Structure 1
Amino acid sequence: MGLIKQNVRFEALKEKLIESDSDVICLQEIWNDEEIFELAGYLEEKYPYSFSFIHESNGSIPQHILKGKSKCDARVLADILKCMSLSCAKAMNRNSLFSCTLQKCQVLNKIEKKCLECFIFKALTCVDTNRPDKDPFGFGQCVMEAAGQGRLTYISIFTYKKQILRQATEPGRENHGLLLLSKRKFLKNSLKALPFDRRMIVQRGFLEVQLVGYKYISLLSVIFLLKSVATGYKSWRELKEKAEVDFLINRYSSDSNTFLLGDFNIGPEIKEKQIDGYFDNLYQKMKENGLRNVAVDHLALCTYCKDNTIVQIMDPGYSKNCILDGIIPINIRNRIVKVEREYVRDVRNPIILSIPMSDHYGISAIFEENQN
């Protein structure tokens, strides 16, 4: 991240979680398989049950990670970067860079879908720190450099070895950045891990598990503003509504004793609390169908905030306070006792103690135990 290295943030997260009293924890944007395995192992005594896209279907953790040869040939990516620097030099942000690359560099015809997802992820991140119009060499370096050495190392997509870019995840088993931890045992054959829509290049997905009496769904919503040619939808709003909001409503609104946990990337405007809306009308649609975020109803504090140091680094000039993350209880009889905003700090380093270790704040909620 430049200011705070990934290993510092990861160690701070581990210490935060080992102190947690939650029964179930949903973690997002853990893009590195090794870190998923390390977290699950480190917390196993306290949270003996875990699940992710790279767990086995019975919830067990694979004994090793298979890193089969990637379809990302470094020479092909070098050609695309050259095209971007020559033909898209005036691109000043994520949207213009991506549109230009699609139109002028024929990127969709040159590399496989799995590699394209990684490339888009990395390129759209690097443009925040090395704008191609200002620093084309630095931009190319950022995209191609080894995982763990980049300026934005929270997203370690590539490692560079012998002209081959190896992906962090075993082919066919993208981790989608999600990890569920639980003190309570998952019910047998209840574990599901699915993407929202396979047409999307940078996919987002959800985990679904059942405990005795309850169902938990951990999800990470779409974040990058990809054009319809890369998503199968006519517009960004249609993607959000059809692939995510309608999906969640249709699948879960009639459920009972169910919790949706995660980064919804949708939130209402609350003027009296100085909260800015993000797809407010889509949040209202969820609300009308019984999907209400406790962070909105019981807290009304931003989870993606303009004064967050990490947000300022990633998105200079960002000026909104939005509630994008939270917990949605569906037909729950249990009374809500407490809702809090959480963030991870590096308690070992007083110099950066006040700096959050993530751009998104977390939400925790305590529900009264059901005596029945």
Structure 2
Amino acid sequence: MLSLALRLVVMCLTVVPSTAQLCPSKKLLTFNVGLNPRVTKYESRKKIVPDALKEHTDVDVMCLQEVWYEKDMTNFLNALKPTYPYHYSFIHHAPSQLRSSSGIFSWIFGRFRTAPCLSASIFPLGYCMVRQCKGVKGNAMLGCLTQKCTEQLEAISQDCIACLLMSSIDPLSALSKCVNVLSYYNKMNGQGLLLLSKKPILNVQKTLFFPGVKQMLARGFITADVAGLGKVVCTHLTANIHLPYIEWNKDELKAMSWEEQQRNEINNIHYHLDGRKHILMGDLNTGPAITNPGEEPIVGEYPSNFAALLTYGYTSLYEGEDGRCTWCRDNPLHQQRSPSKILDHIMMTGFNGRNATRTMGVYRGQQLSDHYGMTLNVCHNIFY
């Protein structure tokens, strides 16, 4: 009788499914591609970043940041479409459809409507800049404009502000790119986000953190239910740009610093997700300090905001499994050698994860971005 019972126990143990069977994982990738002329070697990098991403065929979902220009986005979509036919951004007409179907008339004349700064309201801003900010150069121009030309900034579109900011430190060079009508694909993806997936994406939504409030960069997030995975949030939070807080609508933003604005964005995501389990991906521009003997220290970036994410129930595995910088002092694309930090994250609530790894560094002998990317395998937490 005892031997029969033992045999039954052994039989039960042999059919217990493995962790992989109980929870088949999906691989995710987040990467700030830094595709704007303010980051060194933009022209050469924009040609090879899609090819580098094509080699990550084991990735199921990608959240890309700083894909600012529609022309660059079309290059990404064309290169990645065979593997990632499902995609979305703030300028998509519909999920997996960048532009609406249109005839030859729209193809010829539509570009005059979609160029971000092709408007008469750009001229008063230019006049104000010449009169009030004459001789001001570089990043100091941003402060001058937000102090002395706020009325003119309010008159132009948010995408025009973003285009002028991201396209060049030199205003005239930026303006030439932002009124471009030579290319049909001339929209400005003002939040810089692009979500790509192997599987269908459902219930897709785009959300601005502060809708209707003019800013230097109006950031936001994309949420989508990915078939076979669950809810994914793709975002890019406000950065510490090492300048005084120059936003002119401080009351509406309820912030007096970049750190406080970022915290409000984190609270906004928490409010919108309302306890639902999800995966948060992107350049969060916050991270903890890490000191390992014999290694270069990782400097914290707005660590209290990173702590707030943990308080909201997110799990972050990268710091313990890999722990290398994603914004690195020795990156050759950095014009200023700022301290090494971990700014890019894939965080989870209600999911399990493993194999958090830094990626997207050098490809064909060239640094791909001023950031590194990271990958993570995730699956549902069946006890959540």
Offset, 1:364: 0.8
The CA distance in 2 between the partners of 1:270 and 1:48, in whole Å, is 38
* Mapping 1:210-221, distance limit 5 Å: 210-212=225-227, 213-221=229-237
CA RMSD of superposed structures (Å)? 3.2
The CA distance in 1 between the partners of 2:274 and 2:313, in whole Å, is 6
1:262 aligns with 2:282: yes
The residue that corresponds to 2:45 in the other structure is 9
User: TM-score, normalised on structure 1?
Assistant: 0.75
- 1:205 maps to which of 213, 217, 220: 220
Offset, 1:30: 0.7
Letter in 1 for 2:173: C
The residue that corresponds to 1:245 in the other structure is 266
Is the CA contact (8 Å cut-off) linking 1:71 and 1:112 kept in structure 2? no
For residues 259 and 268 of structure 1, do their structure 2 counterparts lie closer, same or farther at Cα, with a shift above 3 Å needed?
same
CA deviation string 1:219-269 (max 9, x = no partner): 111235542424533412321112x1111223336222x211101011111
Is the CA contact (8 Å cut-off) linking 2:133 and 2:141 kept in structure 1? no
Offset, 1:100: 2.8
The CA distance in 1 between the partners of 2:83 and 2:369, in whole Å, is 23
CA deviation string 1:76-125 (max 9, x = no partner): 34323323543x64x6x63x543333333xx1212445446634663577
SS at match of 2:82: coil
Count the aligned residue pairs. Answer: 322
Is the CA contact (8 Å cut-off) linking 2:280 and 2:348 kept in structure 1? yes
* Mapping 1:283-322, distance limit 5 Å: 283-312=306-335, 316=336, 318-322=337-341
The residue that corresponds to 2:191 in the other structure is 176
The residue that corresponds to 2:3 in the other structure is none
User: TM-score, normalised on structure 2?
Assistant: 0.73
Stretches of structure 2 lacking an aligned partner (at least 5 in a row): 1-36
The CA distance in 2 between the partners of 1:209 and 1:306, in whole Å, is 34
* Mapping 1:92-103, distance limit 5 Å: 94=139, 96-103=140-147
Is the CA contact (8 Å cut-off) linking 2:38 and 2:166 kept in structure 1? no
For residues 229 and 321 of structure 1, do their structure 2 counterparts lie closer, same or farther at Cα, with a shift above 3 Å needed?
same
Is the CA contact (8 Å cut-off) linking 2:232 and 2:280 kept in structure 1? yes
SS at match of 1:227: coil
The CA distance in 2 between the partners of 1:51 and 1:123, in whole Å, is 23
Is the CA contact (8 Å cut-off) linking 1:266 and 1:282 kept in structure 2? yes
The CA distance in 2 between the partners of 1:335 and 1:49, in whole Å, is 23
The residue that corresponds to 1:196 in the other structure is 209
The CA distance in 2 between the partners of 1:211 and 1:29, in whole Å, is 22
For residues 84 and 116 of structure 1, do their structure 2 counterparts lie closer, same or farther at Cα, with a shift above 3 Å needed?
farther
The residue that corresponds to 1:356 in the other structure is 367
Query: Mean alpha-carbon deviation: is it higher for 205-214 or for 69-78?
Result: 69-78
The CA distance in 2 between the partners of 1:324 and 1:85, in whole Å, is 33
Is the CA contact (8 Å cut-off) linking 2:164 and 2:171 kept in structure 1? no
- 2:54 maps to which of 18, 21, 25: 18
* Mapping 1:159-174, distance limit 5 Å: 159=180, 168-169=186-187, 174=189
Is the CA contact (8 Å cut-off) linking 1:253 and 1:289 kept in structure 2? no
The CA distance in 2 between the partners of 1:296 and 1:275, in whole Å, is 10
For residues 120 and 22 of structure 1, do their structure 2 counterparts lie closer, same or farther at Cα, with a shift above 3 Å needed?
closer
- 1:81 maps to which of 106, 129, 132: 129
* Mapping 1:147-158, distance limit 5 Å: 147=177, 157-158=178-179
Offset, 1:306: 1.4
The CA distance in 2 between the partners of 1:248 and 1:119, in whole Å, is 24
The CA distance in 2 between the partners of 1:176 and 1:120, in whole Å, is 8
For residues 176 and 140 of structure 1, do their structure 2 counterparts lie closer, same or farther at Cα, with a shift above 3 Å needed?
closer
For residues 53 and 121 of structure 1, do their structure 2 counterparts lie closer, same or farther at Cα, with a shift above 3 Å needed?
closer
SS at match of 1:159: coil
The CA distance in 1 between the partners of 2:284 and 2:375, in whole Å, is 15
Stretches of structure 1 lacking an aligned partner (at least 5 in a row): 128-138, 148-156, 348-352
Q: Bigger radius of gyration, 1 or 2?
A: 2
- 2:94 maps to which of 57, 70, 73: 57
The CA distance in 2 between the partners of 1:335 and 1:14, in whole Å, is 26
For residues 72 and 13 of structure 1, do their structure 2 counterparts lie closer, same or farther at Cα, with a shift above 3 Å needed?
farther
Is the CA contact (8 Å cut-off) linking 2:50 and 2:75 kept in structure 1? no
For residues 168 and 80 of structure 1, do their structure 2 counterparts lie closer, same or farther at Cα, with a shift above 3 Å needed?
farther
CA deviation string 1:261-305 (max 9, x = no partner): 101011111233611111111111111221233322322111111
For residues 292 and 114 of structure 1, do their structure 2 counterparts lie closer, same or farther at Cα, with a shift above 3 Å needed?
farther
Offset, 1:335: 4.2
The CA distance in 1 between the partners of 2:204 and 2:325, in whole Å, is 31
1:29 aligns with 2:51: no
- 1:365 maps to which of 369, 376, 381: 376
Is the CA contact (8 Å cut-off) linking 1:295 and 1:323 kept in structure 2? no
